[in-house]
Amino acid sequence: MELIITWKELLIAIILASVVYLVEQFIASVGRRKKQQPNQAGTGFLDVETVTRKIVDIEQRVNDLEIKLSLALVGENTGTKNPVFEEAVNYAREGMSASEIASRCGISQDEAALIITFHQPGR
């Protein structure tokens, strides 16, 4: 039994092998690009400088909220209430969302969320 391969069969085999090789190379190059770019959006990696800036920003926002809360509480204890915060408290007791309270009273959404935390029924 003799095996005879024609030039057409040989050409088809070479083309198929080339296609398989090119597909493998493409898949490998996509994997290399993903490994080379760890700071791209969606990967979840941040550099130390970015994380440090975010922490400082969060600390500043917390400090600002603590000051505003203490001022609001001092106003409650002395009987001189801030009408903006009083209105926001009423909205929170009615069940409004933080974004609605913030837009109606001219306060930040963080302040509105804090007011909701303390004054919304069922919380």
pLDDT tens, residue order, the chain (123 aa)? 677 878 788 888 888 889 899 989 988 888 777 766 655 555 566 788 888 888 999 988 888 887 777 776 656 555 556 777 788 888 988 989 999 999 998 888 888 888 888 887 765
Q: CA 47 to CA 20: how far, in whole Å?
A: 38
Identity of residue 44? G
Q: CA 107 to CA 59: how far, in whole Å?
A: 19
Of the candidates 36, 58, 38, 56, the one whose C-alpha atom is nearest the C-alpha of residue 47 is: 38
pTM exceeding the 0.85 threshold for the entire prediction: no
**Treating both helix axes as pointing N-terminal to C-terminal, what angle do 98-105 and 109-119 enclose, rounded to 10 degrees?**
120
Q: What is the pLDDT of residues 21-53, one digit of tens each?
A: 998 998 888 877 776 665 555 556 678 888 888
Q: CA 30 to CA 14: how far, in whole Å?
A: 25
**Treating both helix axes as pointing N-terminal to C-terminal, what angle do 109-119 and 48-78 enclose, rounded to 10 degrees?**
50
